[in-house]
Structure 1
């Protein structure tokens, strides 16, 4: 019985120890280390959110900068569960963030991926936190942008998963 408990404890400790090594490692970098094309996509994303007249227009315009799990499997529209939830939240809350964007923190993940099957995209990911306007309560929110590596369709940086944090 003691051997079984020790074995289970050992397995549990190994899972905890190795799980951190399996995940992609993020490194904080300064905002001036973000490539211009990544900053351009960030600004384009915020502009689409704030300038679209309604959520339907926003969902169409977002296709210009979206990739990965944000897209449907045919990559021609936003995924059905993105528009009514995470995109809607960002669309409604973008007005609370500084424009032009003010970057408060950046994490670089050198090799990450998002999506599945036809929407799968890999490359460097910049997780960029942007500041709220003065007098607006709350923490800065992250936007993840990937610089594609060897993707057949996407050659420029794209906004990926994890929208809906604004």
Structure 2
């Protein structure tokens, strides 16, 4: 499941297709970049938990979108960093919001890959940094594969600070 302009967050979610399918480079699918889930930085875990809480605790998709802006950044937000891009809510966020009920709570992380830095977004909302692709398991009794959530850790951004 990106922080940007005037946000208190340190990290940012890069892809809102956490609980849906979104293709990353083939390297992200291989285990070449895998790290021990226990070695994932605590800040990354915190943002993952924030995103999952937004999905689980929002009364409806509109409230979910309002709350998601607090941890969204890069290509998920407009250049002002305060509003979601028009395609985020009706597609990726909607799918995640509707599917979160099928995933373990609290999240069970089965795999983590640390990927090379990329740039995401445009203008003032652009961020650059390494990505953590985190797979969360479905709850017991639910069929299907773990879902990937990609979190980008901004490097050297003038308005994104650690909490």
State the TM-score bracket (shorter-chain normalisation): 0.7 to 0.9
Which residue of 115, 121, 129 maps to 2:135?
Answer: 129
Q: Which has the higher helix share?
A: 1
Residues 56-135 of structure 1: pairs in structure 2 closer than 5 A: 56-135=62-141
Q: Paired residues, what number?
A: 135
Per the alignment, residue 10 of structure 1 pairs with none
Distance apart, 1:102 and its partner CA: 0.6
Distance apart, 1:64 and its partner CA: 1.4
For the pair shown, the structure with the greater C-alpha radius of gyration is 1
Partner Cα separation in structure 2 for residue 130 and residue 115 of structure 1: 25
Distance apart, 1:154 and its partner CA: 2.0
Runs of 4+ in 1 over 4 A off after TM superposition: none
CA distance 1:68–1:156, shift in 2 (3 Å): farther
Partner Cα separation in structure 2 for residue 95 and residue 156 of structure 1: 30
> Higher relative contact order at CA 8 Å, sep ≥6: structure 1 or structure 2?
2
Residues 19-30 of structure 1: pairs in structure 2 closer than 5 A: 27-30=33-36
Bigger shift: 132-141 or 106-115? 106-115
CA RMSD of aligned residues (A): 2.1
